Chains A and B, each alone.
Chain A
Amino acid sequence: MRLNAEKIKHIASLARLSLSDNDVEDYCTQLSEVLENFEILNQVETSNVEPATQSVNLQNVFRNDRVRKSYSQNEVLANAPRQENNCFKVKVIL
């Protein structure tokens, strides 16, 4: 299936990704090429097959909810692009 520019722009907005016009054009071609290769999977009969979400047979892994020492505010904020009053800072949202 060939992806058109509209579709590419929609996916990009879902992925929160700005694209240049060149990108849109490139992805139309490149992603369509890759999707074409995926068609081989239609040859496989899977109606009675359970999907695998992992390769080991782990069930839910629980632990006790214990209070532990965590990172200091300074450590957590050390890589923040912008901060103010010990908070991450972003542009006005509302």
Chain B
Amino acid sequence: MNDSPPRFAAWLLTQLLREHDREVVLGDLAEEYSIRRRLAHQRAAARWYRGQVYGSVPPVLWASFRRGSWAATLAVAAAAYIVIGVVEFCAVAALSTFLTAPSALSSVLNTLVGLGTMVLGAYSAAAVRPSAARVLAVIVALVVTGMIVALPDTVPLWYQLAFLFGGPLACLAGGSLCLNRRKRRNPGRGRTDSAHGSVR
């Protein structure tokens, strides 16, 4: 039986929290998760854990917004989004010279190019401002949702879902890669997203 909390939920929360809060919040959840696992079924404990994580997303994002320096972070994320769009457009145009007729293969390649570009874009954005990758993930989620609502039947459902869920996750993964690399380079230095960055 798996003793650890749901991995994806834990990973998602790790990406959203600033370093100052990460360990204590994950520790609090791990503590109560282990109590619930002892008292109830593991599945119920995992459901509780996921509920806590998904319920925490709006307040964590809002707290991040309130901390300020948001305009600069938003500008970096928006710039990254534009660059991603341009690079993706060029890459897809280059692909279309080899695959002239629309096919399942071209859709798969376009998806891979799109998601790969998002990972790189988020990596670059996080290098400029650590929280920009998270903002980029939100922008991607909003834009894809808007496109699905406005143009529901223009592309296959799997393609829409791949970008709806894969897009934000690709951005978070790119940001995570950048921050992990930075941490390996400077193991003694914590990331400071805000004025509250130091641990008391």
A-B interaction: no
Binding site for A on B (CB under 8 A): none
